[in-house]
Structure 1
């Protein structure tokens, strides 16, 4: 029977590749954008009169929750947790569902800004190096 120190071999851990860095950065920037929009909505709650106060409060809380959750996904993806691939995939698909109609509606700049990062993340999420790095379980040793 081997001791816990013999089982942990740092050289056997997958290496954090540039794909992990890029995916974490893009998801983190998306989270930051959501939090900035949430702050704008919070300020507008006190400076402008919304049509529906309860709807505006709900949307503000939802934006803060999504931004916080997406920032957690970005950080945990950078650390290599498996569940982050699914969360990132779902968020990028939602971004595509918003980006395509925006692009087809004639807003080319905004549409491309919302379309290109999700496409990059969707491509990189399925590269072998990123998949290998994100096979970490919750009880694995810290990276």
Structure 2
């Protein structure tokens, strides 16, 4: 039987998917840098809450690793990565808006612009076609 257009794998990865994957990797590196900053703070000073500081550091590392996993699987065309990337970008926007409101414009824009770009790219036709294909392909999880 012939395959329908939605079942055929695209010949090449769309540029939007590559941009999203790169932004996710950069965000993961930012989270790892924040975790390193927390570790430095733990080693050089006494935190108000040792448990809270350790939890935050571990949480940042876990989130960074999760973003790296999402980025890798998004680049390979897995369907579940769209929702994971979308939710993370919404959290980034929730942090970016108060940062901008507080007058920390460069940091707020550094958070907001990539997150907005990812949100827009996630809904473009080539990206949707690449990560939403169906069929006998094992990558439809």
Same fold (TM over 0.5): yes
How many residues are paired up? Answer: 133
RMSD in angstroms over aligned alpha carbons? 1.9
- Per-residue deviation, 1:43: 2.6
TM-score (norm 2): 0.87
- Per-residue deviation, 1:110: 1.0
TM-score (norm 1): 0.85
Gaps of 5+ in 1: none
CA contact (8 A) 2:9 2:133 kept: no
- Per-residue deviation, 1:66: 0.5
Aligned to 1:52: 49
Give the Cα–Cα distance (whole angstroms) in 1 for the partners of residues 87 and 115 of structure 2.
Answer: 10
Q: Secondary structure at the match of 2:17?
A: helix
- Per-residue deviation, 1:44: 2.0
Q: Secondary structure at the match of 1:72?
A: helix
Gaps of 5+ in 2: none
Q: 1:22 aligned to 2:5?
A: no
Q: 1:13 aligns with which of 9, 14, 26?
A: 9
Change (3 A) 1:102 1:80: same
